[in-house]
Chain A
Amino acid sequence: DAGITQSPRHKVTETGTPVTLRCHQTENHRYMYWYRQDPGHGLRLIHYSYGVKDTDKGEVSDGYSVSRSKTEDFLLTLESATSSQTSVYFCAISPLGAFLHFGNGTRLTVT
């Protein structure tokens, strides 16, 4: 166990509502990532962080925002959820240049 926890594990929400997913780590790693799992695309990078308050966009950042106010927490917010954001979301952590350790995923359904 790489000391990474995602919450909630499952979430059902309605179109148009805001949703926040949380990633918490106990490893003190500098880098944190949010990915979404899409059939035929593997994992697509939404946003990532390279330090407290330092974040950058990934491949599919539209409709998502992130915040990292502490080393251990990386929050992903869907400002106004849409059905196209139904997916499984994975958080990952990494020390510099090393491979990623993944959380168990959050299954989000937008109805």
Chain B
Amino acid sequence: ILNVEQSPQSLHVQEGDSTNFTCSFPSSNFYALHWYRWETAKSPEALFVMTLNGDEKKKGRISATLNTKEGYSYLYIKGSQPEDSATYLCAFRLKTSYDKVIFGPGTSLSVIP
């Protein structure tokens, strides 16, 4: 069984706070790591695809880093806004089966105005 873990499970922050969450995955057999943003009653939307150890990606106030040797990725949100409230999912592709995409349980973020 492939374990992709995310922490914390949920997070409540004040508007303007910066925050970060973690995705852990098996460091062996790594092919790619995805981050998605999932708003209530909508479909998940891709934020980043990361493939190389040390990768850093940025999109506006959101950024992500990747450490494939130790099997984790961080997602950072700088100056959180209420519209950032969503569930953030990471997903893992295996090297030996890169067409299979396994999701973590997600981190639910609520930004309080």
Contacts and interface: CB of A to CB of B under 8 A. Distances in A.
Which 9 A-B pairs rank lowest in CB-CB distance, beginning with the nearest? A99-B46, A102-B43, A42-B106, A43-B103, A42-B105, A50-B99, A42-B103, A99-B49, A99-B34
Interface in B12-50: 31-32, 34, 36, 43-46, 49
Contact of B103 (A40, A45, A96, A101): A45
A99 B6 CA distance: 19
Contacts, number: 60
Interface string B86-113: 0101010100001111111110000000
A97 B43 contact: no
Q: Is the contact region of chain B dominated by helix, strand, or loop, or is it mixed?
A: strand
A41 B49 CA distance: 21
Contacts of B99: 31, 48, 50, 56, 96
A25 B1 CA distance: 30
A42 B104 contact: yes
A92 B36 CA distance: 13
Contacts of B89: 42-43
Interface of B: 1-2, 6, 9, 31-32, 34, 36, 43-46, 49, 87, 89, 91, 93, 98-106
Interface residues of A, number: 27
Given A42-B105, A103-B43, A105-B43, A98 B100 contact: no
A104 B100 CA distance: 21
Nearest to A6: B43
Nearest to A44: B103
Given A45-B101, A99-B36, A100-B44, 8 more contacts: A31-B99, A42-B105, A42-B106, A97-B32, A97-B93, A97-B98, A102-B44, A104-B43
